[in-house]
């Protein structure tokens, strides 16, 4: 056991920190979940990519630095600490890319990954449907074979696609075998949102941004080159990325550590050094403790992953923990602000927006109810029925 970072890692942190200090836009960009904000965020992504900070853990040939998991965690800590912009490329980088690395052809990797990383092609996910939320296997959108054209024709609807209104491409599951049920007969497609027959309808989120979209497909053509993995094996292919969504990759501890530090700052500003109401002090302390617990649990897990273990059902525990700590942390900030918390045009407004965002945590990527079932059944071994 050695809980210090190596010299190389420390140097990596220093490089990262100084680049971010020099380049993070000030004042902060407007929300990336609006049309104008998205465009500005795309520019930021291009800058990150050009400096090889967009995807540090990827191979150099696709714009990365071949960074270790530890270096990636350090990058995320520094990125959050610097208050750098949200990553509008994250659904591509964190959800789709791992699947492409595992299941994509060399041609697909070469064609898709660099543009994804630079933000030139922004990807959104198409998991949910009106009748398939936490129960993904309820997917009804279908793809019909078009042999003549050498591809498939899509029909149906996807919902809750994050930033779908601004993205260029969508990945998701469609039913290619109408006879098969539930998990069988699904295929993983990569779809151009500019293609014919695609309609994107923005849906306004709790915080007023058009953060969601509904996407309708009416006889939309997808060439065979844009099928990911084997036809009919889409469920298995997708599970790799939902594992990522629920687990480690999207939620490096840096974000929560930075949020806890900002909460401490807020407590000091609202009440002066150490002077806050003891009950609020206690809640602020709990938030900081949660972030620490999350950090060390992550380091514990990453050590095992580095030794070659694969993440398992424990990722459900991780999702439960960060999503609930995030809500509590923001609730504490709102309590500190008291009757000023409702204001959305002050310097503190980010806390209300952050709270609204945090409320999606226990809902998306499998509700926390589903996650608790997974923990009970797959981690603890309780009977399914």
CB of 169 to another protein, least distance (A): 21
Of residues 152-171, those binding another protein (CB under 8 A): 159-160
Q: Does 278 bind a second copy (CB under 8 A)?
A: yes
**Cβ contact 37:29 at 8 Å:** yes
Of residues 360-379, those binding another protein (CB under 8 A): 360, 362-364, 367-369, 371-373, 375-377, 379
Q: Does 381 bind another protein (CB under 8 A)?
A: yes
Contact partners, residue 335, CB within 8 Å, separation at least 6: 280, 283, 341
CA distances from 280 to 35, 264, 273, 277 (A): 38, 11, 13, 5
Look up residue 82 and give its two tokens: 């610097």
Q: Does 385 bind another protein (CB under 8 A)?
A: yes
Nearer to a second copy, 272 or 278 (CB): 278
> Could you identify the residue written with the tokens 């949910």?
128
Q: Rounded to whole angstroms, how far apart are CA atoms 335 and 127?
A: 35
CB of 282 to a second copy, least distance (A): 6
Number of residues that bind another protein (CB under 8 A): 88
Q: Rounded to whole angstroms, how far apart are CA atoms 100 and 110?
A: 10
Q: Does 8 bind another protein (CB under 8 A)?
A: no
Q: Rounded to whole angstroms, how far apart are CA atoms 176 and 143?
A: 5
Give catalytic status of residue 76 as yes or no: no
- 67-91 b/e (C-beta count within 10 Å ≥ 16 → b): bbbbbbbbbbbbbbbbebbebbbbb
Binding mask 55-84 for another protein (x = CB under 8 A): ---------------x--------------
Q: Does 338 bind another protein (CB under 8 A)?
A: yes
Binding mask 221-260 for a second copy (x = CB under 8 A): ----------------------------------------
Q: Does 304 bind another protein (CB under 8 A)?
A: yes
Of residues 185-224, those binding another protein (CB under 8 A): 203-206, 208, 212
Piece of 188-196, 255-263, 277-285, 332-340 that binds a second copy (CB under 8 A): 277-285
Q: Would residue 308 be called left, alpha or beta, if left means φ above 0 and alpha means ψ between -120 and 50 degrees?
A: left
Handedness of CA 367, 369, 371, 377 (dihedral sign): negative
Strand partners, 212: 203
Write down the catalytic residue from 204, 245, 331, 377: 245
Strand partners, 191: 170
Instruction: Say if residue 373 is exposed, middle or buried (CB neighbours under 10 Å; 0-12, 13-18, 19+).
Output: middle
- Phi first, then psi: give them for residue 165, nearest 5 degrees: -70, -20
CB of 271 to a second copy, least distance (A): 14
Of residues 341-360, those binding another protein (CB under 8 A): 341-346, 352, 356, 359-360
364 binds, among another protein, a second copy, none (CB under 5 to 8 A by kind): another protein
Give CA angle at 93 (88, 98), nearest 5°: 160
Q: Which residue from 81, 233, 281, 328 is in contact with another protein, where contact means CB under 8 A?
A: 281
Q: Does 307 bind a second copy (CB under 8 A)?
A: no
Q: Which residue from 277, 309, 342, 369 is in contact with a second copy, where contact means CB under 8 A?
A: 277
Chain residues that interact with a second copy, rule: CB under 8 A: 277-279, 282
* Residues belonging to the active site: 245
């Amino acid at each position: 056991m050695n809980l210090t970072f190596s010299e190389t890692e420390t140097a990596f942190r220093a490089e990262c920190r100084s680049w971010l200090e020099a380049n993070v836009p000030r004042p902060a960009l407007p929300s990336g979940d609006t049309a104008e904000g998205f465009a500005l965020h795309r520019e930021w992504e291009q800058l990150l990519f050009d400096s090889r900070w967009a995807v540090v853990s990827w191979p150099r040939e696709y714009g990365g630095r071949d960074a270790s998991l530890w270096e990636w965690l350090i990058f995320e800590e520094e990125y959050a600490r610097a208050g750098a912009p949200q990553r509008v490329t994250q659904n591509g980088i964190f959800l789709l890319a791992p699947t492409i690395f595992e299941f994509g052809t060399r041609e697909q990797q070469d064609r898709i990954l660099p543009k994804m990383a630079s933000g030139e092609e922004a990807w959104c996910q198409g998991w949910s449907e009106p009748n398939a939320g936490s129960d993904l296997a309820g997917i009804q959108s279908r793809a019909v074979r078009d042999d003549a054209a050498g591809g498939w024709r899509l029909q149906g609807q996807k919902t809750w696609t994050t930033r779908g209104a601004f993205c260029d491409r969508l990945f998701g599951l469609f039913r290619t075998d109408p006879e098969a049920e539930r998990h069988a007969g699904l295929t993983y497609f990569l779809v151009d949102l500019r293609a014919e027959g695609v309609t994107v309808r923005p849906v306004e989120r709790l915080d007023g941004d058009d953060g969601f979209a509904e996407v309708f497909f009416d006889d939309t053509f997808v060439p065979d080159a844009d099928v990911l993995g084997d036809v009919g094996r889409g469920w298995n292919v997708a599970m790799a990325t939902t594992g990522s969504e629920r687990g480690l990759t999207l939620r490096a501890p840096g974000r929560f550590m930075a949020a806890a530090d900002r909460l401490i700052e807020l407590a000091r500003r609202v009440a002066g050094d150490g002077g806050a109401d003891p009950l609020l002090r206690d809640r602020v302390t709990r938030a900081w403790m949660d972030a620490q617990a999350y950090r060390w649990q992550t380091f514990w897990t990453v050590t095992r992953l580095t030794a070659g273990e694969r993440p398992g059902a424990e990722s459900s525990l991780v999702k439960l923990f960060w999503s609930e700590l995030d809500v509590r942390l923001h609730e504490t900030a709102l309590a500190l602000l008291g009757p000023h918390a409702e204001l959305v045009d002050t310097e503190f407004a980010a806390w209300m927006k952050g709270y609204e965002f945090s409320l999606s945590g226990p809902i998306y990527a499998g509700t926390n109810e589903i996650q608790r079932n997974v923990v009970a059944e797959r981690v603890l071994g309780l009977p399914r029925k």
